[in-house]
Chains A and B, each alone.
Chain A
């Protein structure tokens, strides 16, 4: 009976992980296909489609664009998120609860709505469609996230640490740079890596706000319009690999044992 329960639970576990990861496994597997169609039977393994991706300057420049947008927009989002979290945590502001609610509200708004809103706004303000515009869009979606992560980690026990620094003669900006930022570093890096993950494979906003130079997900979408091809699998696998690395960094930062 116990053995039966064990076996059933194993089957269930395999089924559920299979459900989640089979699409990715299929994607990665057929990126190693030797022939021209990503359909069974598997003919690989071969790296010819990875060579093709790296030889495609549109894809590689889109990859560089994506990295740039991810790094710069995440840095901006984390900096703004940190400052607002610090402000809310350390000062009694009028309507603080409402303001905190407002700053996290974009988390619940769909990327499509945010993208359309920005499109209209940029159109009106005369900001051309560009990587910069997409980057600003990514700051909009990631700032609330960074704020929420950093604010949640900003406990009262750090107040006395900051006070102690001030007490010993540190001006306010020194307290921020030498004390608050290092003490908050795990949350700051966690926010940064999670933002990068989201920016890295964000499609809708980039699609709406870029034109000639674009990001990798948009370029992949262009590629898909001409049909399935192991090259799309290869570039998809690359995107996935980068995301995995970023998420691992995020978890290492946030779940790392906090020193007492």
Chain B
């Protein structure tokens, strides 16, 4: 096995009394698209700043291409950053912006121009070479920032909420382009976002962060289907969470006591463990004929039409603290006030230790 491109080992960081990163370890493979996903304050941006060299961690090490870069300044490390506000040089033309990194490497003007033009063509802005940044739209500035960071051929490209300032339609469009550009250049991208849809669409490797820790990491399909923790079950997509406790464990089958009755599941947790059962909205079945595992009946509290489906919120009749989040077909005749049976297939229940 080859060494990872980036190896972050046991990194912690404090701002004054406040610990923002708690013993984080992460490896990045060459050519991968990694997403750091988390709510604000989860430490994802600090981790990116540590990778970019703008912050030196209080503890731990960062190795890039096997070299210790922990305290190497941004100018001297093989990373470049695309900033959330793009941070284009307002007094320079787009071409000079893109060529700036090459200029700092002492590359002659003719080569610089040629490579800047190539990079702009890569992001679909070949005609903007002589324009000033203020003449471009938000999406175009974003691309210039991307070209400027890519033209110096970094080992890792860091993107700090790069799509945050764009409107939804443009964001989805740029998202597709980012992925396409990443595949074309083959550079490892590390992208920070709080948008789970963005994360699922872009990531090869999705890292869910909360409160300075990595909660879960892996391919987005796995993180979505089998989240490792309660947090990633609710942050990466929605889930209904049913708290419970294991009362019996025998032959790979456990019995979990919950407010909606005892449930039999496959699992190996010892008796006495408190757990949470998570079910994705699309796996909850409303009404008869139900799935193999029944959760009793619930009163529908809200129905939100979302175009291709209806998002249904229902409160359990056995436990008013238990809220079901389900997805019904767009044509389903479900209304607030209805009493429905709630169930799902056993295989769709995600067992989380809590």
Given A157-B85, A183-B91, A260-B90, A168–B133 Cβ distance below 8 Å?
no
In this complex, what residue of A is CB-closest to B80? A167
Given A259-B132, A259-B134, A168–B152 Cβ distance below 8 Å?
yes
A8 at the interface (CB under 8 A from B): no
CA distance A179 to B103 in the complex (A): 13
The listed residue (A161, A171, A179) touching B75 by CB distance below 8 A is A171
In the assembled complex, which residues on chain B have CB atoms less than 8 Å from the CB atom of A169?
75-76, 101, 104-105, 152
CA distance A157 to B134 in the complex (A): 15
In the assembled complex, which residues on chain A have CB atoms less than 8 Å from the CB atom of B90?
161, 183, 259-260
Contact B91 A164 (CB under 8 A): no
Contact B87 A260 (CB under 8 A): no
B83 at the interface (CB under 8 A from A): yes
B224 at the interface (CB under 8 A from A): no
Binary CB contact string for chain B from 134 to 156 against chain A (1 if under 8 A, 0 otherwise): 10000000000000110010000
Contact A174 B54 (CB under 8 A): no
B86 to chain A, nearest CB (A): 8
Binary CB contact string for chain B from 73 to 109 against chain A (1 if under 8 A, 0 otherwise): 1111001110111011111000000001100110000
Contact A163 B91 (CB under 8 A): no
In this complex, what residue of B is CB-closest to A259? B134
In the assembled complex, which residues on chain A have CB atoms less than 8 Å from the CB atom of B149?
167-168
A160 at the interface (CB under 8 A from B): yes
In this complex, what residue of A is CB-closest to B77? A167
Contact A163 B101 (CB under 8 A): no
Interface size class of B (residues with CB under 8 A): 20 to 34
A22 at the interface (CB under 8 A from B): no
Contact B74 A163 (CB under 8 A): yes
A165 at the interface (CB under 8 A from B): yes
A90 at the interface (CB under 8 A from B): no
B52 at the interface (CB under 8 A from A): yes
In the assembled complex, which residues on chain A have CB atoms less than 8 Å from the CB atom of B74?
163, 166-167
In the assembled complex, which residues on chain A have CB atoms less than 8 Å from the CB atom of B54?
163, 167
Contact B152 A160 (CB under 8 A): no
Given A171-B75, A259-B134, A260-B133, A163–B87 Cβ distance below 8 Å?
yes
Contact A168 B100 (CB under 8 A): yes
In the assembled complex, which residues on chain A have CB atoms less than 8 Å from the CB atom of B84?
160
In the assembled complex, which residues on chain B have CB atoms less than 8 Å from the CB atom of A163?
54, 74, 81, 83, 87
CA distance A170 to B106 in the complex (A): 11
CA distance A6 to B75 in the complex (A): 64
In the assembled complex, which residues on chain A have CB atoms less than 8 Å from the CB atom of B81?
163-164, 167
In the assembled complex, which residues on chain A have CB atoms less than 8 Å from the CB atom of B52?
167
Given A160-B85, A183-B89, A183-B91, A167–B132 Cβ distance below 8 Å?
no
Given A174-B104, A259-B132, A182–B91 Cβ distance below 8 Å?
yes
What are 30 inter-chain pairs, A to B, with CB distance below 8 A? A160-B83, A160-B84, A161-B87, A161-B89, A163-B83, A163-B87, A164-B81, A164-B89, A165-B89, A166-B73, A166-B75, A167-B53, A167-B75, A167-B79, A167-B80, A168-B75, A168-B80, A168-B104, A168-B152, A170-B75, A170-B100, A170-B104, A179-B89, A183-B90, A183-B91, A259-B91, A259-B132, A259-B133, A259-B134, A260-B133
Question: Which B residues fall within an 8 A CB radius of A?
Answer: 52-54, 73-76, 79-81, 83-85, 87-91, 100-101, 104-105, 132-134, 148-149, 152
Task: Give 4 closest A-B pairs by Cβ, nearest first.
Answer: A168-B101, A169-B104, A160-B87, A164-B87
